[in-house]
Chains A and B, each alone.
Chain A
Amino acid sequence: MEKRVFFKGWWLPALLVAPQLLISFVFFFYPSGQAIWNSLFLPDPFGLKTEFVGLDNFRFLLSDPYYLASFKTTVIFSTAVSVSSMALGLYLAALADRLIKGAGVYQTLLIWPYAIAPAIAGVLWLFMFNGNIGLASYYLKALGYEWNHTLKGDQAMFLVILASSWGRISYNFLFFLAGLQAIPKSIIEAAAIDGASFWKRFGTIVIPLLSPITFFLLVVNIVYAFFDTFGVIHTITSGGPEQSTTILVYKVFSDGFVSQDLGSSAAQSVILLVLVGILTVIQFKYIERKVHY
């Protein structure tokens, strides 16, 4: 049963949605419009003069093999961050849900890393794996494994994924735990009495009942991996070595604010905007169908 409320007149509903519209305009439509407009120009860094170049910024980008490689990097990175942090979050939540004693302590400790800002998390991990003073790199060396993420792309990628997922596990843990606790115990007990094993119960009851939360987390984690991991990458690798950890949003930053090429940066933002739009449509159109509310 859906409840619908109808307003008489137009001013009250308009007033009620006005704050949201205003926020959307100020923080979304206005900057997006600016980005689209700027993507058509080639300004000098100081903003003293600018030239209309049409779609040249896009042509410039799409002919750059490193820009195209950055798409692949982004896919690998976002998938790895989302999947690993969600899987671990779910695993820890399933364990914590079964705790009888001391659940509060475990839960608090597991949520803790979420309070750490991405840039700080990046520095922490960087310290551990630093080639000069890092403990982790020291022990790896003792085991005969040469760690040098400033030179080896796969190690750098591993490190930024690790640092980005770490805080995210807590977030996912929190939501999965809430989801698990919302599942009526009676259903699970009934299945247990019918002789379903733990894995059977988990696969046929828990996972489907968690699907709304899983879907929500998937969307949020991908958005996180796309946009919020920028601090981690900046502190750990600055996108290197050889751009092997330059994801799209990091390239927007580095071309715009490090290289002062605002035209190209704006064009990249526009491409990113379109890309995330498409991704969201796909998620809601195809994946959400499999979600049971």
Chain B
Amino acid sequence: MKHFKAIIASIALFVMFAGTAVQAKVEIQWWHAFGGRLGELLDEQVNKFNASQDKYTVVHTRKGNYSETLNAGIAAFRAGQHPNILMVFEVGTASLMAAKGAYVPMYQLMKDAGQRFNPKGFVSAVSGYYTTTDGKMLSMPYNSSTPVLWVNKDLMKKAGLDPEMDLSTWKKVGNALDAAKAKGIDMPFCTCWHSWVHLENFSAYHNIPFATKSNGFAGLDTELSFNSPVHIKHIQTLGKWAQEGKFKYMGRRNEAGKNFRAGECMLMTESSAGYAGIKKQAKFEFGIRHLPYYGGTEAPQNTIIGGSSLWALSGKSKEENKATAAFLAFLSKTDIQAKWHQDTGYLGVTTAAAKKTKSSGFYKANPGTDLAGIQMMRNKVTQNSKGLRLGSFDQIRGIIDEEMEGVYSGKKTAQVALDSAVRRGNVLLRRFERANK
């Protein structure tokens, strides 16, 4: 027994000393969702920060895809084992915002740490997503993209089409797909992120509400409204294309990107951030176009963002919060942002970074990389095109995905599927409203 006590005591002493040795540098944790090329670029940013000063160390850990990262963060918060910084994709924004006390708002964090921080420096179409109605910025925009149309020019030629042909409307896209199918092209059209591209962005682009109360910005008592005639027309069109073998469904997230990069798919709707992977892997000539729309509507309005922001979780020491603030301020620096924008295809989230990229001649050298930015900021933002702020939205997206699968497989009409998705989604919105009153 005496021995045992001695061992415990020595372990305790060791831990204490080891602890003080490390304390010389404040270490903070960042949980994120980036692997592959994006993961490498993220690692580069962290290394640059760690090398740039000797007070703080940032340790980053990949926790799976966006949803898995958010869930890991929430589960860890319940257990009191959460990281300092959590990457939350735009869909989780409303959940975080409603969880007052789970995070330190960005403006507060920066003020407490005495960091210079200018929320006005961010592109408003991006920062608006993460800012309260009374103008307080709650999280720091990290990666933001918007959907565009990717074109495999080699396959266009094979289909006997002019690779520079007008693809601005879905009708023209439909004609191109007909021609491709007739020439025996196996996968004329594919898409990533169904709900995000074909309902959420579709709504903003056509200036029709995705949900009431300014898409949820104006209150928790919002209701889904993406079963309007224009929505139904579009989803029905996709369903018809799927039945005719012109559109191949590959999965709910960005699975179709693989087919495009492998040169199988002729036209793909995917985030502008598909750029990093396509540029690296595509062995064909590709082009970037604006997202198509329907004529005779209010389109093209503007598209909205997808991507993530970084949240400083609460319950951390003052020192650690200071480190977090320093790191986030570092990330918003112009050269870091400009490099990130050029490497990945994500938007330059600060105006300075966008300006710098333009003056460096990057857009001229890489045609199409400026389209995402233009498409997002082409018009004055309306109630319908500000973005979405809906609770339990990851779950609602799951419902939308399910219902859309029903349309693609020919089991349901677009009307039935979208009505059902709205009804089921509203149940979850009411549940969220109740849990967050």
Chain A interface residues (CB < 8 Å from chain B) = 42-48, 51, 60, 64, 66, 131-132, 148, 150-153, 240-243, 257-261
B112 on interface, CB distance cutoff 8 Å: no
Partner of B249, one of A60, A66, A150, A260: A150
B401 partner residues in chain A, CB cutoff 8 A: 240
A12 CA to B67 CA in the complex, in Å? 52
A241 CA to B412 CA in the complex, in Å? 13
B403 and A242 within 8 A (CB) = yes
Known contacts A42-B435, A45-B74, A259 near B405 by CB under 8 Å:
no
A132 and B252 within 8 A (CB) = no
Known contacts A46-B102, A132-B258, A260 near B74 by CB under 8 Å:
yes
Partner of B402, one of A51, A148, A152, A241: A241
A46 and B77 within 8 A (CB) = yes
A241 and B71 within 8 A (CB) = no
A242 and B75 within 8 A (CB) = no
Partner of A60, one of B100, B250, B395, B431: B431
B405 partner residues in chain A, CB cutoff 8 A: 150-151, 240-242
B435 and A150 within 8 A (CB) = no
Enumerate B363-415 residues with CB–CB distance to A below 8 Å.
392, 394-395, 398, 401-403, 405-406, 408-409, 411
| B436 and chain A: residue at smallest CB distance | A44
A258 and B431 within 8 A (CB) = no
Chain B interface residues (CB < 8 Å from chain A) = 67, 71, 74-75, 77-78, 95, 98-102, 248-252, 255, 258-259, 262, 392, 394-395, 398, 401-403, 405-406, 408-409, 411, 424, 427, 431, 434-436
B250 and A132 within 8 A (CB) = yes
A258 CA to B75 CA in the complex, in Å? 10
Partner of A243, one of B251, B258, B402, B435: B402
A153 CA to B409 CA in the complex, in Å? 9
| B430 and chain A: residue at smallest CB distance | A60
B67 partner residues in chain A, CB cutoff 8 A: 258
Between A and B, how many residue pairs show CB distances below 8 Å? 81
Known contacts A42-B434, A258-B394, A132 near B262 by CB under 8 Å:
yes
Partner of A46, one of B99, B250, B406: B99
Known contacts A51-B435, A60-B431, A132-B250, A240 near B408 by CB under 8 Å:
no
Residue from A44, A64, A257 having most chain B Cβ neighbours under 10 A: A44
Question: 6 A-B residue contacts at CB 8 Å?
Answer: A42-B435, A46-B101, A47-B78, A151-B405, A153-B409, A261-B392
How far in angstroms is the closest Cβ of chain B from A100?
Answer: 50
How far in angstroms is the closest Cβ of chain A from B240?
Answer: 15
How far in angstroms is the closest Cβ of chain A from B159?
Answer: 21
| B434 and chain A: residue at smallest CB distance | A42
B431 and A47 within 8 A (CB) = no
A240 and B402 within 8 A (CB) = yes
Known contacts A148-B249, A258-B71, A260-B71, A44 near B99 by CB under 8 Å:
yes
B95 and A45 within 8 A (CB) = yes
Known contacts A48-B101, A150-B251, A242 near B402 by CB under 8 Å:
yes
A257 and B71 within 8 A (CB) = yes
A259 and B395 within 8 A (CB) = yes
A46 CA to B100 CA in the complex, in Å? 10
Q: A64-B424, A258-B395 provided; 12 other pairs, C-beta below 8 A?
A: A45-B99, A46-B99, A60-B427, A66-B424, A131-B250, A150-B255, A240-B401, A242-B403, A242-B411, A259-B398, A260-B74, A260-B95
B402 and A43 within 8 A (CB) = no
| A146 and chain B: residue at smallest CB distance | B245
A47 and B259 within 8 A (CB) = no
A47 partner residues in chain B, CB cutoff 8 A: 77-78
Known contacts A42-B435, A148-B249, A259-B394, A132 near B402 by CB under 8 Å:
no
Known contacts A45-B95, A258-B67, A259-B395, A240 near B252 by CB under 8 Å:
yes
B427 partner residues in chain A, CB cutoff 8 A: 60, 64
